[in-house]
Structure 1
Amino acid sequence: MLVYIFLFLIVFCLLQIGTHKLFKSFNLYKLVYIIIFLFSAFRFDVGYDFPLYYKLVTKQHKFIDAQLDRLEPLSKALIELSYDTGFFQLFFILTSFIIVFFTYKTIKKNSTDRIISTLIFLSFPIFFFNSLSIVRQYVAVSLMFFSYTYIKSRKLIPFLVITFFAFLFHKSAIVAIPLYWIYNLRFKNIHFFILFVASFFSAKLLYLLVAALLPDYIIYLDKNVGVGGDKILLVFQLIGFFMLFFIDRKKNNSDYRFYTNTFFIGLFIWSSLAPYGHAGFRGSLYFTVFSILLIPEIISLFKQKAIIKKMVYLLCFIFFIFTLIVGKLNPNKDPNIPYRIYFFTDKDEFKIPK
């Protein structure tokens, strides 16, 4: 656990030091993301799905051809490239680069507080920690996060191109297509209130909508795999509840309006489909990811910004530690601990005897 705490403290300290005028020329913000990239890229046996991906990359998986054929084209291409080069870690390096690079670029360009946004990305379990497990989907999520550049500038074709590439990494990206049109939606408080309340009673309705509009995806609800992230969902529901009281304060700010729209739509999807396992949580990611940009906007609404920011710093650290503790309680596999480095890990234990 200490290596993770060290990562958080290094990131936090560099971000704080980078705000000082003596160090602004060093671009410590970029250095932070280089560190996060290296931490992700050279991890070994970290993340729930790491063993699965490693077996695919090394082609030790049973019925390997059938397993590879079910993957999306670009995900399959990266796995094949890693196998062909004989450098099996290449898959994790390339996917980590895509995730971290597009997150870095999006926060840099759009966040009103890069420190807060970076800490939210790093500490909230549905973002960075999640990217270590649901690798293919989080590549798609990071691309759709970056697509905000084109959503904001109303460039439909580039947005659709980004969405297409995201789909080639993970087909769930199809649910993110409405993002472009959500930008112009002007909800009122009553609409958010209805959406918030309805999320507690709409499981069956949303199930039927998925069955009618996206029948190929209904299998993921029927499988009822995993859990719906109940603990972190509760946190997001609390955030949503408190947002209802001051949501109109920046209603003429297009960025804030978009982040708010996506937050409540994502929360509706997540809450409604939570009874069906992690399908709802994963489907909502394309919307809740904009919370990384939303939270700095919320902080700006308060007069005591300095105090609120310090409270958020503390909450981020608590979430970070909480994620590690919850991982240790997992009866099957701790997804994060021990943190193992590719260069110092014996790969033989992952070989399947012939």
Structure 2
Amino acid sequence: MPILHPIFIVIFLFLAVASYWEIFRLEKKQSIFIWITALLIIIAVGFRINVGADYPVYKMLFSGFALYTTYGDVLDKALFRPNTEEIEWIFVLINKLVFDFGFPFYIVTLVMAIITVTLKFTTIYKNVAYPTLALMFYFMPIMFFEDSGQMRQGLGIAVCVASFKFIKERNLFMFLLCMYIALGFHKTAIVFLPAYWIVKIPLNSKRIFWILIFAVLSSPFELYRLGGEFFASLSPQDISGAYTGYLDDRYYGTQVETGLNDIVKLFFIAILIRYDKKGCEQVLWYEYMRNLAVFGMALFYFFRSNEIFAVRLPGAYMFFVTMFCLSNLVYAVPERARQFLYLGFMAYFVAMFFYFGSGNGHRGGFTIDRYDNALW
């Protein structure tokens, strides 16, 4: 059976030990654990060679940006002026600068890994009581899909997550600046724009339940088809074009398959509803995190009839489900419940480690027999 490369085994084991030590021995967060994990992930993700679902496409675009794109084209894209660029401007700029300075493509992935890991990890550390547990949720398996696969969206999500600081401070200007930067990495960041106001909606367990029930029941009606005109009236043309282009895509425009992912989400939802009051009482800013997490879940079920929308559009919101809410609830609940949740989550991580390694991990090149790194 295919198994993930030793670099990923080391990260997994380190986070497993560090999370246990942080939660049940030290009972407080440790920045050294964050730094060690960040370094290992930057090495594993940043220096990888021909690894990741979208790697061949990104590598092909690397020289294309440099040969067929000017800095004037990048500026036009950044200012929303008419242009022929189809890829977001900050991503293009990074590629062009690296190419023009004569560096190989893995420097692009290294720069992207440094940016996304720094933004995500610092935000997690500031807002989560036990950040190593949150990083385990990130590592297994979000890191492989976002920051080692759909890298542009991973960067966009990183900026959206970092903007949580300005959501808490109610600093609208800085939040909108973050949204502009996030759009420079991936156009799906536009979906996170309402987050500034969503956090203020008063919710409780009953309201969370009915919001998600409505999202599930509305899915067959495909109400999201009405969004094409809405995006066309508010967004740059490439955003509305991407939205309408995926409405009936023959590959991605199909319904999300029912399976293990649904069972896991139901458990996560049950935990969020069961311990909502504890989270609000014990964790600072938990109501904000929870609102974003609930909205992400609702988006997933609302768009369930279209796979690309269900997976891509809730991305930044879904980050708050596991990395922020579930990890903080382990801190908020009593000791016995804490042990129960931790054991349940660790069982999930172990199962996901082998399940992912033998499936998408092998196909993406993350296994022992296929993974390659520029450092060895």
TM-score (normalised: structure 1): 0.85
**How many residues matched?**
337
- Read off the aligned partner of 2:166 and give its amino acid letter: Y
Identical positions, percent: 20
- Read off the aligned partner of 1:284 and give its amino acid letter: P
CA distance in 2, matches of 1:336, 1:155: 40
Give 1:280-319 correspondences, 5 Å limit.
Answer: 280-291=310-321, 292-299=323-330, 300-304=332-336, 305-319=338-352
- Read off the aligned partner of 1:316 and give its amino acid letter: F
CA distance in 2, matches of 1:60, 1:151: 35
Counterpart residue number, 2:294: 264
- State the Cα RMSD in Å: 2.9
Secondary structure of the corresponding residue to residue 217 of structure 2: coil
**Displacement after TM superposition at 1:126 (Å):** 3.4
Corresponding position: 1:213 with 2:203: no
Q: 1:5 to 1:185 in 2, by over 3 A?
A: same
CA distance in 1, matches of 2:39, 2:101: 24
String of CA shifts for 1:188-209, please: whole Å, max 9, x gaps. 3332222211222323343234
Counterpart residue number, 2:357: 324
Q: 1:267 to 1:290 in 2, by over 3 A?
A: same
Counterpart residue number, 1:50: 55
**Displacement after TM superposition at 1:163 (Å):** 1.1
Counterpart residue number, 1:238: 267
Counterpart residue number, 1:175: 191
Q: 1:126 to 1:209 in 2, by over 3 A?
A: farther
Corresponding position: 1:126 with 2:131: no
Counterpart residue number, 2:100: 84
**Displacement after TM superposition at 1:281 (Å):** 1.2
String of CA shifts for 1:214-260, please: whole Å, max 9, x gaps. 24122223225447475434412331144333433444566221222
- Read off the aligned partner of 2:246 and give its amino acid letter: Y
Aligned partners of 2:47 and 2:106 also within 8 Å:
yes
TM-score (normalised: structure 2): 0.80
Aligned partners of 1:237 and 1:267 also within 8 Å:
no
CA distance in 2, matches of 1:136, 1:2: 24
- Read off the aligned partner of 1:240 and give its amino acid letter: I
Secondary structure of the corresponding residue to residue 43 of structure 1: coil
Q: 1:64 to 1:15 in 2, by over 3 A?
A: farther
Secondary structure of the corresponding residue to residue 333 of structure 2: coil
Q: Larger RCO: Structure 1 or Structure 2 (Cα < 8 Å, ≥ 6 residues apart)? A: 2
Secondary structure of the corresponding residue to residue 200 of structure 2: coil
CA distance in 2, matches of 1:17, 1:68: 52
CA distance in 1, matches of 2:31, 2:198: 38
Q: 1:29 to 1:92 in 2, by over 3 A?
A: same
Q: 1:12 to 1:259 in 2, by over 3 A?
A: same
CA distance in 1, matches of 2:285, 2:349: 23
Give 1:139-154 correspondences, 5 Å limit.
Answer: 139-154=155-170
Aligned partners of 2:199 and 2:287 also within 8 Å:
yes
Counterpart residue number, 1:116: 133
String of CA shifts for 1:37-92, please: whole Å, max 9, x gaps. 1111011111110000011113399x966998211110110111222123221210
Q: Gapped runs of 5+ residues in structure 1?
A: 345-354
Counterpart residue number, 2:34: 29
Corresponding position: 1:158 with 2:174: yes
**Displacement after TM superposition at 1:261 (Å):** 1.4
Give 1:175-194 correspondences, 5 Å limit.
Answer: 175-194=191-210
CA distance in 2, matches of 1:60, 1:149: 33
CA distance in 1, matches of 2:250, 2:293: 24
**Displacement after TM superposition at 1:115 (Å):** 1.7
Q: Which moved more, 1:126-135 or 1:256-265?
A: 126-135
Corresponding position: 1:138 with 2:150: no
String of CA shifts for 1:100-122, please: whole Å, max 9, x gaps. 00111011111011121111111
- Read off the aligned partner of 2:292 and give its amino acid letter: T
Q: Gapped runs of 5+ residues in structure 2?
A: 74-82, 233-239
Counterpart residue number, 1:349: none
Q: Which moved more, 1:198-207 or 1:12-21?
A: 12-21
Counterpart residue number, 1:347: none
Q: Which moved more, 1:175-184 or 1:185-194?
A: 185-194
**Displacement after TM superposition at 1:210 (Å):** 1.7
CA distance in 1, matches of 2:225, 2:268: 28
Secondary structure of the corresponding residue to residue 222 of structure 1: coil
Q: 1:86 to 1:197 in 2, by over 3 A?
A: same
Aligned partners of 1:15 and 1:32 also within 8 Å:
no
Aligned partners of 2:65 and 2:96 also within 8 Å:
no
